[in-house]
Structure 1
Amino acid sequence: MMDKKYYYKIYGLTLASDYEFPHFIRLEEKVETPDIEIIYGGIPDFIKPQIDEGFYKGIKKDEMWFYNSAGLFYIHDNNKINFIEYNKGTIDDAAVFLPGLCLAVLLWYRKMIMIHGACLRMKDKTVIVAGNSGAGKSTLTTELIKRGALLMADDVTGIALEDGQFISFPAFPAQKLCEDQVEKNGLDTSNLKQVVYDLNKFEVSRKDDFYDIPAKVDALFRVEVQDVSALTKEEITGAEKLKIITDCIYINWLFNDTFRLEPDDMFRCIGLSNQIAVHKICRNKTQDTIKEILDYIESNV
Protein backbone atom coordinates (compact mmCIF):
# COMPACT_ATOMS: atom_id res chain seq x y z
CA MET A 1 0.00 0.00 0.00
CA MET A 2 1.04 3.60 -0.55
CA ASP A 3 1.68 5.66 2.59
CA LYS A 4 0.31 9.07 1.58
CA LYS A 5 -3.00 10.43 0.32
CA TYR A 6 -3.19 13.27 -2.16
CA TYR A 7 -6.27 15.48 -2.48
CA TYR A 8 -7.45 17.19 -5.65
CA LYS A 9 -10.32 18.99 -7.32
CA ILE A 10 -11.36 17.59 -10.69
CA TYR A 11 -14.58 17.85 -12.74
CA GLY A 12 -16.14 19.80 -9.88
CA LEU A 13 -15.52 16.94 -7.42
CA THR A 14 -13.04 16.22 -4.64
CA LEU A 15 -10.64 13.33 -5.18
CA ALA A 16 -8.50 11.43 -2.69
CA SER A 17 -5.76 9.40 -4.36
CA ASP A 18 -3.01 7.03 -3.31
CA TYR A 19 -1.18 8.05 -6.48
CA GLU A 20 0.19 11.56 -6.99
CA PHE A 21 -0.91 13.47 -10.10
CA PRO A 22 1.41 16.52 -10.38
CA HIS A 23 -0.76 18.35 -12.92
CA PHE A 24 -4.05 18.01 -11.02
CA ILE A 25 -5.41 20.94 -9.01
CA ARG A 26 -4.16 20.21 -5.49
CA LEU A 27 -6.21 20.68 -2.34
CA GLU A 28 -3.92 21.47 0.56
CA GLU A 29 -6.27 20.29 3.30
CA LYS A 30 -7.41 16.74 3.89
CA VAL A 31 -10.89 15.91 2.63
CA GLU A 32 -12.66 13.66 5.12
CA THR A 33 -15.35 12.42 2.71
CA PRO A 34 -14.09 12.80 -0.86
CA ASP A 35 -16.44 12.40 -3.82
CA ILE A 36 -14.02 9.99 -5.54
CA GLU A 37 -11.21 7.73 -4.32
CA ILE A 38 -8.35 6.23 -6.31
CA ILE A 39 -6.92 3.33 -4.32
CA TYR A 40 -3.80 1.30 -5.03
CA GLY A 41 -4.58 -2.36 -4.40
CA GLY A 42 -7.84 -3.81 -3.15
CA ILE A 43 -8.65 -5.75 -6.34
CA PRO A 44 -11.38 -8.25 -5.33
CA ASP A 45 -10.74 -11.98 -5.49
CA PHE A 46 -13.51 -12.68 -8.01
CA ILE A 47 -11.61 -10.97 -10.85
CA LYS A 48 -8.56 -13.25 -11.21
CA PRO A 49 -10.56 -16.44 -11.96
CA GLN A 50 -12.38 -14.52 -14.72
CA ILE A 51 -9.05 -13.43 -16.20
CA ASP A 52 -7.86 -17.06 -16.04
CA GLU A 53 -10.98 -18.04 -18.00
CA GLY A 54 -10.02 -15.63 -20.78
CA PHE A 55 -12.08 -12.54 -19.92
CA TYR A 56 -10.33 -9.17 -20.21
CA LYS A 57 -13.17 -7.11 -18.74
CA GLY A 58 -16.34 -7.53 -16.72
CA ILE A 59 -19.27 -5.14 -16.75
CA LYS A 60 -22.52 -4.91 -14.85
CA LYS A 61 -24.69 -2.03 -13.69
CA ASP A 62 -22.51 0.65 -12.06
CA GLU A 63 -19.45 -1.63 -11.91
CA MET A 64 -16.62 -2.50 -14.27
CA TRP A 65 -13.21 -4.15 -14.21
CA PHE A 66 -10.66 -4.49 -17.00
CA TYR A 67 -6.98 -5.07 -17.55
CA ASN A 68 -4.44 -4.19 -20.25
CA SER A 69 -0.69 -4.36 -20.73
CA ALA A 70 -0.14 -1.77 -18.00
CA GLY A 71 -2.64 -2.31 -15.21
CA LEU A 72 -5.70 -3.93 -13.69
CA PHE A 73 -8.58 -1.62 -12.77
CA TYR A 74 -11.81 -1.98 -10.77
CA ILE A 75 -14.41 0.82 -10.92
CA HIS A 76 -17.32 0.53 -8.51
CA ASP A 77 -19.80 2.09 -6.07
CA ASN A 78 -19.97 5.34 -8.08
CA ASN A 79 -16.93 6.67 -6.21
CA LYS A 80 -14.00 4.24 -6.20
CA ILE A 81 -11.27 3.15 -8.61
CA ASN A 82 -8.93 0.42 -7.41
CA PHE A 83 -5.84 -0.34 -9.49
CA ILE A 84 -2.55 -2.22 -9.59
CA GLU A 85 0.22 -2.56 -12.11
CA TYR A 86 -0.23 -5.62 -14.32
CA ASN A 87 1.65 -7.71 -16.89
CA LYS A 88 4.84 -5.76 -17.64
CA GLY A 89 3.50 -2.39 -16.58
CA THR A 90 4.70 -0.25 -13.69
CA ILE A 91 2.54 1.74 -11.29
CA ASP A 92 3.25 4.84 -13.40
CA ASP A 93 2.22 2.99 -16.56
CA ALA A 94 -1.05 1.89 -14.98
CA ALA A 95 -1.75 5.40 -13.63
CA VAL A 96 -1.84 6.76 -17.20
CA PHE A 97 -5.30 5.18 -17.59
CA LEU A 98 -6.77 6.68 -14.41
CA PRO A 99 -7.48 10.30 -15.50
CA GLY A 100 -8.87 9.25 -18.89
CA LEU A 101 -10.67 5.95 -19.30
CA CYS A 102 -11.19 5.10 -15.62
CA LEU A 103 -12.53 8.50 -14.59
CA ALA A 104 -14.66 8.66 -17.74
CA VAL A 105 -16.36 5.38 -16.79
CA LEU A 106 -16.81 6.40 -13.15
CA LEU A 107 -18.22 9.84 -13.99
CA TRP A 108 -20.55 8.29 -16.58
CA TYR A 109 -21.89 6.13 -13.74
CA ARG A 110 -22.35 9.42 -11.83
CA LYS A 111 -24.54 10.69 -14.71
CA MET A 112 -22.07 13.05 -16.36
CA ILE A 113 -21.84 13.16 -20.16
CA MET A 114 -18.21 12.38 -21.00
CA ILE A 115 -17.21 13.73 -24.41
CA HIS A 116 -14.06 12.68 -26.29
CA GLY A 117 -12.71 16.15 -26.90
CA ALA A 118 -11.01 19.22 -25.49
CA CYS A 119 -13.00 21.94 -23.75
CA LEU A 120 -11.96 25.56 -24.18
CA ARG A 121 -13.13 28.91 -22.91
CA MET A 122 -13.00 31.56 -25.63
CA LYS A 123 -14.86 34.83 -26.24
CA ASP A 124 -16.76 34.22 -22.98
CA LYS A 125 -18.14 31.00 -24.47
CA THR A 126 -17.46 27.35 -23.69
CA VAL A 127 -16.49 25.31 -26.74
CA ILE A 128 -15.73 21.61 -27.22
CA VAL A 129 -13.40 20.43 -30.00
CA ALA A 130 -14.32 16.77 -30.36
CA GLY A 131 -13.20 13.87 -32.52
CA ASN A 132 -11.59 10.46 -32.46
CA SER A 133 -7.87 9.90 -31.98
CA GLY A 134 -5.94 11.28 -34.94
CA ALA A 135 -8.58 13.85 -35.88
CA GLY A 136 -6.31 16.75 -34.96
CA LYS A 137 -7.88 17.82 -31.65
CA SER A 138 -4.57 18.48 -29.90
CA THR A 139 -3.23 20.57 -32.79
CA LEU A 140 -6.41 22.64 -32.98
CA THR A 141 -6.54 23.05 -29.19
CA THR A 142 -2.91 24.19 -29.08
CA GLU A 143 -3.43 26.74 -31.84
CA LEU A 144 -6.63 28.05 -30.26
CA ILE A 145 -4.76 28.54 -26.98
CA LYS A 146 -2.17 30.54 -28.92
CA ARG A 147 -5.05 32.70 -30.14
CA GLY A 148 -6.15 33.40 -26.57
CA ALA A 149 -8.41 30.47 -25.61
CA LEU A 150 -8.15 28.92 -22.15
CA LEU A 151 -8.10 25.17 -21.55
CA MET A 152 -10.76 23.54 -19.38
CA ALA A 153 -10.15 19.89 -20.31
CA ASP A 154 -7.74 18.26 -22.72
CA ASP A 155 -9.06 14.92 -23.99
CA VAL A 156 -12.15 14.18 -21.89
CA THR A 157 -14.80 16.83 -21.26
CA GLY A 158 -17.22 16.22 -18.38
CA ILE A 159 -20.69 17.77 -18.60
CA ALA A 160 -23.43 17.69 -15.96
CA LEU A 161 -27.01 18.93 -15.99
CA GLU A 162 -27.54 21.52 -13.26
CA ASP A 163 -30.64 23.69 -12.86
CA GLY A 164 -31.66 23.07 -16.45
CA GLN A 165 -28.27 23.96 -17.95
CA PHE A 166 -25.48 21.72 -19.21
CA ILE A 167 -22.30 22.72 -17.40
CA SER A 168 -18.75 21.76 -18.32
CA PHE A 169 -16.54 21.20 -15.29
CA PRO A 170 -12.79 21.88 -15.53
CA ALA A 171 -10.56 18.82 -15.45
CA PHE A 172 -6.88 19.67 -14.84
CA PRO A 173 -4.35 22.12 -16.35
CA ALA A 174 -2.36 19.80 -18.61
CA GLN A 175 -2.36 18.75 -22.23
CA LYS A 176 -0.94 15.69 -23.98
CA LEU A 177 0.88 16.50 -27.21
CA CYS A 178 2.44 14.27 -29.86
CA GLU A 179 6.15 14.63 -30.47
CA ASP A 180 5.68 16.63 -33.69
CA GLN A 181 3.54 19.19 -31.84
CA VAL A 182 6.09 19.39 -29.03
CA GLU A 183 8.82 20.10 -31.57
CA LYS A 184 6.67 22.56 -33.53
CA ASN A 185 6.02 24.57 -30.35
CA GLY A 186 9.69 24.55 -29.31
CA LEU A 187 9.15 22.68 -26.04
CA ASP A 188 12.07 21.10 -24.22
CA THR A 189 11.25 17.39 -23.86
CA SER A 190 13.82 16.94 -21.08
CA ASN A 191 11.37 18.70 -18.74
CA LEU A 192 8.27 16.83 -19.93
CA LYS A 193 6.78 13.55 -18.79
CA GLN A 194 6.57 11.10 -21.67
CA VAL A 195 3.34 9.09 -21.72
CA VAL A 196 4.32 5.99 -23.67
CA TYR A 197 0.98 4.23 -23.17
CA ASP A 198 -0.98 7.11 -24.74
CA LEU A 199 0.27 7.12 -28.35
CA ASN A 200 3.71 8.11 -27.08
CA LYS A 201 2.73 11.66 -26.12
CA PHE A 202 4.25 14.23 -23.79
CA GLU A 203 2.39 15.86 -20.90
CA VAL A 204 2.54 19.68 -21.06
CA SER A 205 1.47 21.96 -18.20
CA ARG A 206 -1.22 24.55 -18.98
CA LYS A 207 -1.38 26.25 -15.58
CA ASP A 208 -1.04 29.67 -17.19
CA ASP A 209 -3.76 28.92 -19.76
CA PHE A 210 -6.36 27.22 -17.57
CA TYR A 211 -9.97 28.23 -16.87
CA ASP A 212 -10.99 26.79 -13.50
CA ILE A 213 -14.65 27.84 -13.37
CA PRO A 214 -17.60 25.62 -14.36
CA ALA A 215 -19.37 27.11 -17.36
CA LYS A 216 -22.41 26.49 -19.54
CA VAL A 217 -21.58 24.64 -22.77
CA ASP A 218 -22.25 26.72 -25.90
CA ALA A 219 -20.94 24.79 -28.90
CA LEU A 220 -19.39 21.53 -30.06
CA PHE A 221 -17.20 21.18 -33.16
CA ARG A 222 -16.85 17.59 -34.33
CA VAL A 223 -13.72 17.06 -36.46
CA GLU A 224 -13.49 13.96 -38.66
CA VAL A 225 -10.82 12.69 -41.02
CA GLN A 226 -12.42 11.48 -44.25
CA ASP A 227 -11.51 10.89 -47.88
CA VAL A 228 -12.81 14.26 -49.03
CA SER A 229 -11.38 16.35 -51.85
CA ALA A 230 -11.74 19.57 -49.88
CA LEU A 231 -12.49 20.68 -46.34
CA THR A 232 -16.18 20.70 -45.46
CA LYS A 233 -17.70 22.53 -42.51
CA GLU A 234 -21.31 23.09 -41.54
CA GLU A 235 -23.61 23.71 -38.62
CA ILE A 236 -25.79 20.67 -37.95
CA THR A 237 -29.49 20.86 -37.18
CA GLY A 238 -32.23 18.38 -36.37
CA ALA A 239 -31.76 14.76 -35.32
CA GLU A 240 -28.18 14.56 -36.60
CA LYS A 241 -27.09 16.80 -33.71
CA LEU A 242 -27.98 14.03 -31.28
CA LYS A 243 -26.13 11.41 -33.34
CA ILE A 244 -22.97 13.51 -33.36
CA ILE A 245 -23.13 13.97 -29.59
CA THR A 246 -23.60 10.25 -28.92
CA ASP A 247 -20.80 9.46 -31.39
CA CYS A 248 -18.55 11.79 -29.35
CA ILE A 249 -19.12 10.00 -26.04
CA TYR A 250 -15.68 8.96 -24.80
CA ILE A 251 -16.72 5.44 -23.84
CA ASN A 252 -19.25 4.73 -26.62
CA TRP A 253 -17.10 1.80 -27.82
CA LEU A 254 -18.07 0.07 -24.57
CA PHE A 255 -21.79 0.22 -25.26
CA ASN A 256 -23.35 -3.21 -25.63
CA ASP A 257 -26.02 -5.24 -23.88
CA THR A 258 -24.53 -4.64 -20.42
CA PHE A 259 -23.04 -1.16 -20.80
CA ARG A 260 -25.33 1.03 -22.83
CA LEU A 261 -27.16 4.30 -23.22
CA GLU A 262 -29.95 4.03 -20.67
CA PRO A 263 -33.13 6.12 -21.19
CA ASP A 264 -31.99 8.77 -18.72
CA ASP A 265 -28.58 8.92 -20.46
CA MET A 266 -30.31 9.49 -23.79
CA PHE A 267 -32.52 12.14 -22.20
CA ARG A 268 -29.42 14.06 -21.09
CA CYS A 269 -27.87 13.78 -24.56
CA ILE A 270 -31.09 15.03 -26.15
CA GLY A 271 -31.15 17.95 -23.74
CA LEU A 272 -27.54 18.82 -24.56
CA SER A 273 -28.23 18.65 -28.30
CA ASN A 274 -31.16 21.04 -27.87
CA GLN A 275 -29.11 23.53 -25.87
CA ILE A 276 -25.88 23.88 -27.86
CA ALA A 277 -24.75 24.58 -31.41
CA VAL A 278 -23.16 21.58 -33.16
CA HIS A 279 -20.79 21.86 -36.12
CA LYS A 280 -19.28 19.10 -38.25
CA ILE A 281 -15.90 19.51 -39.93
CA CYS A 282 -14.51 16.92 -42.36
CA ARG A 283 -10.86 17.16 -43.32
CA ASN A 284 -8.46 15.25 -45.54
CA LYS A 285 -5.42 14.26 -43.51
CA THR A 286 -3.08 14.95 -46.44
CA GLN A 287 -4.16 18.60 -46.73
CA ASP A 288 -3.06 21.47 -44.49
CA THR A 289 -6.41 22.95 -43.46
CA ILE A 290 -5.62 23.88 -39.86
CA LYS A 291 -5.86 27.66 -40.34
CA GLU A 292 -9.16 27.35 -42.19
CA ILE A 293 -10.60 25.18 -39.41
CA LEU A 294 -9.35 27.57 -36.73
CA ASP A 295 -10.90 30.53 -38.53
CA TYR A 296 -14.19 28.66 -38.85
CA ILE A 297 -14.29 27.81 -35.15
CA GLU A 298 -13.48 31.38 -34.12
CA SER A 299 -16.07 32.86 -36.47
CA ASN A 300 -18.77 30.55 -35.11
CA VAL A 301 -18.18 31.14 -31.40
Structure 2
Amino acid sequence: MTLHRYHVAGWSVRSPRPLPYLARDVGPEGPDPIDITFDAFDPPAAPTRTVGPFTIHGPDLIDLHPPGGLRLRIHDGRAIIVADSDGLSAAEVHTFLFGPAFTMLAHQRGRPPLHAGAVSLDGRTIGIAGNSGAGKSTMVQALVQRGARLLSDDQLLIDPATRLAYPAYPSAKLWAASATQLAVPTDNDARVKDGFDKFHIDLGASFLDAPR
Protein backbone atom coordinates (compact mmCIF):
# COMPACT_ATOMS: atom_id res chain seq x y z
CA MET A 1 0.00 0.00 0.00
CA THR A 2 1.31 3.41 -0.98
CA LEU A 3 1.47 5.88 1.89
CA HIS A 4 1.27 9.62 1.44
CA ARG A 5 3.85 11.45 3.56
CA TYR A 6 3.42 14.83 5.19
CA HIS A 7 4.79 16.74 8.15
CA VAL A 8 3.10 18.79 10.87
CA ALA A 9 4.81 20.56 13.78
CA GLY A 10 8.11 18.83 13.05
CA TRP A 11 6.57 15.34 13.03
CA SER A 12 6.23 13.05 10.03
CA VAL A 13 2.68 11.98 9.14
CA ARG A 14 1.72 8.94 7.04
CA SER A 15 -1.68 8.30 5.48
CA PRO A 16 -3.13 5.88 2.92
CA ARG A 17 -5.31 8.72 1.63
CA PRO A 18 -4.22 12.14 0.37
CA LEU A 19 -4.43 14.90 2.97
CA PRO A 20 -4.50 17.97 0.72
CA TYR A 21 -4.32 20.58 3.48
CA LEU A 22 -0.93 19.40 4.79
CA ALA A 23 2.63 20.12 3.64
CA ARG A 24 4.24 17.19 1.85
CA ASP A 25 7.24 15.51 3.46
CA VAL A 26 9.93 15.14 0.80
CA GLY A 27 12.92 14.59 3.09
CA PRO A 28 13.88 11.66 5.29
CA GLU A 29 11.10 10.41 7.52
CA GLY A 30 11.44 11.61 11.09
CA PRO A 31 11.46 9.34 14.14
CA ASP A 32 8.14 8.18 15.63
CA PRO A 33 5.93 9.08 12.67
CA ILE A 34 2.20 9.64 13.15
CA ASP A 35 0.01 7.11 11.34
CA ILE A 36 -3.42 8.15 10.06
CA THR A 37 -5.71 5.26 9.15
CA PHE A 38 -9.32 5.08 7.97
CA ASP A 39 -11.16 2.18 9.57
CA ALA A 40 -13.89 1.23 12.03
CA PHE A 41 -13.19 0.84 15.74
CA ASP A 42 -15.13 -0.35 18.80
CA PRO A 43 -15.17 1.15 22.31
CA PRO A 44 -12.75 -0.58 24.70
CA ALA A 45 -13.95 -2.20 27.90
CA ALA A 46 -11.98 0.19 30.11
CA PRO A 47 -13.80 2.78 32.28
CA THR A 48 -14.42 6.04 30.45
CA ARG A 49 -15.01 9.70 31.11
CA THR A 50 -16.85 11.97 28.71
CA VAL A 51 -15.87 15.64 28.37
CA GLY A 52 -17.74 17.43 25.59
CA PRO A 53 -17.10 15.57 22.32
CA PHE A 54 -14.24 13.54 23.88
CA THR A 55 -14.50 10.10 25.46
CA ILE A 56 -11.39 9.51 27.56
CA HIS A 57 -10.51 5.86 28.10
CA GLY A 58 -7.09 6.77 29.52
CA PRO A 59 -4.29 9.27 28.89
CA ASP A 60 -3.18 7.36 25.80
CA LEU A 61 -6.60 6.43 24.38
CA ILE A 62 -9.12 9.15 23.54
CA ASP A 63 -12.10 9.11 21.19
CA LEU A 64 -13.50 12.22 19.52
CA HIS A 65 -17.13 12.32 18.37
CA PRO A 66 -17.81 15.70 16.72
CA PRO A 67 -21.28 16.52 15.36
CA GLY A 68 -21.98 15.01 11.96
CA GLY A 69 -21.16 11.36 12.59
CA LEU A 70 -17.38 11.40 12.16
CA ARG A 71 -15.45 9.45 14.81
CA LEU A 72 -11.74 9.62 15.57
CA ARG A 73 -9.56 7.61 17.93
CA ILE A 74 -6.28 9.11 19.16
CA HIS A 75 -3.93 6.65 20.80
CA ASP A 76 -0.43 6.40 22.21
CA GLY A 77 0.72 9.67 20.68
CA ARG A 78 1.37 7.70 17.52
CA ALA A 79 -1.84 7.23 15.57
CA ILE A 80 -5.30 8.56 14.75
CA ILE A 81 -8.01 6.28 13.36
CA VAL A 82 -10.74 8.00 11.34
CA ALA A 83 -14.11 6.22 11.13
CA ASP A 84 -17.39 7.05 9.39
CA SER A 85 -15.83 9.66 7.10
CA ASP A 86 -17.79 8.60 4.00
CA GLY A 87 -19.73 11.50 2.56
CA LEU A 88 -17.52 14.14 4.18
CA SER A 89 -15.25 16.40 2.17
CA ALA A 90 -11.49 16.48 2.65
CA ALA A 91 -11.97 19.92 4.20
CA GLU A 92 -14.42 18.61 6.81
CA VAL A 93 -12.16 15.69 7.72
CA HIS A 94 -9.18 18.05 8.03
CA THR A 95 -11.14 20.35 10.35
CA PHE A 96 -11.43 17.65 13.02
CA LEU A 97 -8.44 15.43 12.21
CA PHE A 98 -5.92 18.27 12.42
CA GLY A 99 -7.96 20.35 14.84
CA PRO A 100 -9.08 18.78 18.13
CA ALA A 101 -7.80 15.26 17.33
CA PHE A 102 -4.29 16.48 16.57
CA THR A 103 -4.36 18.64 19.69
CA MET A 104 -5.00 15.53 21.81
CA LEU A 105 -2.22 13.65 20.05
CA ALA A 106 0.19 16.51 20.74
CA HIS A 107 -0.79 16.31 24.42
CA GLN A 108 -0.05 12.58 24.37
CA ARG A 109 3.38 13.40 22.93
CA GLY A 110 4.09 15.80 25.76
CA ARG A 111 3.96 18.98 23.68
CA PRO A 112 0.53 20.58 24.12
CA PRO A 113 -0.11 23.35 21.59
CA LEU A 114 -0.97 26.92 22.41
CA HIS A 115 -4.31 28.13 21.09
CA ALA A 116 -2.58 30.69 18.91
CA GLY A 117 -1.60 31.53 15.38
CA ALA A 118 1.94 32.47 14.41
CA VAL A 119 3.71 34.26 11.59
CA SER A 120 7.29 35.24 10.86
CA LEU A 121 7.81 38.91 10.02
CA ASP A 122 11.06 40.86 9.70
CA GLY A 123 13.03 38.02 11.27
CA ARG A 124 10.77 37.66 14.29
CA THR A 125 8.14 35.09 15.16
CA ILE A 126 4.87 36.65 16.31
CA GLY A 127 2.27 34.63 18.21
CA ILE A 128 -1.38 35.71 18.08
CA ALA A 129 -3.43 34.27 20.94
CA GLY A 130 -7.05 34.68 21.96
CA ASN A 131 -10.32 32.93 22.63
CA SER A 132 -12.31 31.37 19.80
CA GLY A 133 -13.81 34.15 17.72
CA ALA A 134 -11.28 36.76 18.81
CA GLY A 135 -9.91 37.12 15.28
CA LYS A 136 -6.65 35.14 15.37
CA SER A 137 -7.01 33.76 11.87
CA THR A 138 -8.17 37.10 10.51
CA MET A 139 -5.08 38.75 11.96
CA VAL A 140 -2.87 35.98 10.57
CA GLN A 141 -4.38 36.48 7.11
CA ALA A 142 -4.00 40.26 7.31
CA LEU A 143 -0.33 39.96 8.28
CA VAL A 144 0.32 37.44 5.50
CA GLN A 145 -1.17 39.93 3.04
CA ARG A 146 1.43 42.41 4.33
CA GLY A 147 4.36 40.10 3.71
CA ALA A 148 4.47 37.86 6.79
CA ARG A 149 5.10 34.12 6.43
CA LEU A 150 2.63 31.68 7.94
CA LEU A 151 3.68 29.23 10.64
CA SER A 152 0.34 28.34 12.21
CA ASP A 153 -3.30 29.32 12.01
CA ASP A 154 -4.55 28.34 15.48
CA GLN A 155 -2.32 25.61 16.93
CA LEU A 156 1.14 26.79 17.91
CA LEU A 157 3.62 24.13 18.98
CA ILE A 158 6.85 25.30 20.58
CA ASP A 159 9.79 23.06 21.41
CA PRO A 160 10.61 23.92 25.05
CA ALA A 161 14.23 22.85 24.58
CA THR A 162 14.95 25.13 21.61
CA ARG A 163 12.10 27.65 22.05
CA LEU A 164 11.43 27.33 18.33
CA ALA A 165 7.92 27.52 16.90
CA TYR A 166 7.16 24.71 14.46
CA PRO A 167 5.04 25.13 11.32
CA ALA A 168 1.64 23.45 11.36
CA TYR A 169 -0.05 23.37 7.93
CA PRO A 170 -0.30 25.80 5.01
CA SER A 171 -3.84 27.08 5.44
CA ALA A 172 -5.99 29.24 7.67
CA LYS A 173 -9.70 29.19 8.52
CA LEU A 174 -11.72 32.33 7.81
CA TRP A 175 -15.35 33.23 8.31
CA ALA A 176 -16.98 34.46 5.11
CA ALA A 177 -17.31 37.98 6.52
CA SER A 178 -13.57 38.16 7.25
CA ALA A 179 -12.74 36.74 3.83
CA THR A 180 -14.92 39.39 2.19
CA GLN A 181 -13.32 42.16 4.23
CA LEU A 182 -9.84 40.97 3.24
CA ALA A 183 -10.82 40.29 -0.40
CA VAL A 184 -9.96 36.60 -0.07
CA PRO A 185 -11.90 34.23 -2.36
CA THR A 186 -13.56 31.19 -0.78
CA ASP A 187 -14.32 27.75 -2.18
CA ASN A 188 -17.45 25.86 -1.16
CA ASP A 189 -15.47 22.60 -1.25
CA ALA A 190 -13.21 24.08 1.44
CA ARG A 191 -16.04 24.74 3.91
CA VAL A 192 -14.84 23.65 7.38
CA LYS A 193 -18.07 21.73 7.98
CA ASP A 194 -21.58 21.54 6.63
CA GLY A 195 -23.72 24.52 7.55
CA PHE A 196 -20.77 26.68 8.63
CA ASP A 197 -19.96 29.86 6.72
CA LYS A 198 -16.26 29.32 7.39
CA PHE A 199 -13.61 28.11 4.97
CA HIS A 200 -10.08 26.74 4.78
CA ILE A 201 -7.93 29.23 2.88
CA ASP A 202 -4.86 28.00 1.00
CA LEU A 203 -1.77 29.91 2.13
CA GLY A 204 0.80 27.55 0.67
CA ALA A 205 2.62 30.34 -1.17
CA SER A 206 3.22 32.13 2.15
CA PHE A 207 3.90 29.06 4.30
CA LEU A 208 7.24 29.05 6.12
CA ASP A 209 8.11 25.37 6.15
CA ALA A 210 10.81 25.54 8.82
CA PRO A 211 10.88 26.22 12.58
CA ARG A 212 11.52 29.76 13.75
- Seq. identity, %: 25
For 1:212 and 1:32, the matched residues in 2 are separated by: 15
Q: Does 1:184 align with 2:176?
A: no
Contact 1:85 1:91 in 2 (8 A): no
Contact 2:8 2:167 in 1 (8 A): yes
Contact 1:113 1:160 in 2 (8 A): no
Per-residue CA shift, 1:24-71, capped at 9, x if unaligned?
Answer: 111358959761011111524527x979xxx96124122211312231
Gaps of 5+ in 1: 216-301
Shift of 1:108: 1.5
Counterpart code for 2:130: G
Shift of 1:5: 2.5
Shift of 1:166: 1.6
What is the aligned partner in structure 1 of residue 3 from structure 2?
A: 5
Contact 1:73 1:82 in 2 (8 A): yes
Per-residue CA shift, 1:55-101, capped at 9, x if unaligned?
Answer: 96124122211312231111112111112127x97364444201111
Supply the RMSD in Å over aligned alpha carbons.
3.0
What is the aligned partner in structure 2 of residue 25 from structure 1?
A: 23
Task: Describe the shift of the 1:31–1:147 C-alpha distance in structure 2 as closer, same or farther (beyond 3 A).
Answer: closer
Task: Describe the shift of the 1:68–1:31 C-alpha distance in structure 2 as closer, same or farther (beyond 3 A).
Answer: same
What is the aligned partner in structure 2 of residue 68 from structure 1?
A: 66
TM-score (norm 2): 0.83
What is the aligned partner in structure 1 of residue 80 from structure 2?
A: 81
Q: Whose Rg is larger?
A: 1
What is the aligned partner in structure 2 of residue 175 from structure 1?
A: 172
Task: Describe the shift of the 1:26–1:40 C-alpha distance in structure 2 as closer, same or farther (beyond 3 A).
Answer: same
What is the aligned partner in structure 1 of residue 102 from structure 2?
A: 103
Task: Describe the shift of the 1:189–1:179 C-alpha distance in structure 2 as closer, same or farther (beyond 3 A).
Answer: same
Please point out which of 183, 191, 194 is paired with 1:194.
191
Contact 1:84 1:91 in 2 (8 A): no
Q: How many residues are matched? A: 206
> Secondary structure in 1 aligned to 2:114?
strand
Gaps of 5+ in 2: none
Per-residue CA shift, 1:114-143, capped at 9, x if unaligned?
Answer: 011111111211111011111111221122
Task: Describe the shift of the 1:22–1:128 C-alpha distance in structure 2 as closer, same or farther (beyond 3 A).
Answer: same
What is the aligned partner in structure 1 of residue 13 from structure 2?
A: 15
For 1:198 and 1:154, the matched residues in 2 are separated by: 21
What pairs with 1:150-299 in structure 2 (closer than 5 Å)? 150-162=149-161, 165-190=162-187, 193-196=190-193, 199-215=196-212
Per-residue CA shift, 1:145-190, capped at 9, x if unaligned?
Answer: 222211101111111223xx32211011111111012222333334
TM-score (norm 1): 0.60
For 2:108 and 2:34, the matched residues in 1 are separated by: 12
Task: Describe the shift of the 1:205–1:198 C-alpha distance in structure 2 as closer, same or farther (beyond 3 A).
Answer: farther
> Secondary structure in 2 aligned to 1:96?
helix
Q: Does 1:116 align with 2:126?
A: no
Please point out which of 44, 47, 60 is paired with 1:46.
44
> Secondary structure in 1 aligned to 2:110?
coil
Contact 1:36 1:80 in 2 (8 A): yes
Moved over 6 A (4+): none
Contact 2:192 2:199 in 1 (8 A): yes
Which one has a larger percent helix, Structure 1 or Structure 2?
A: 1
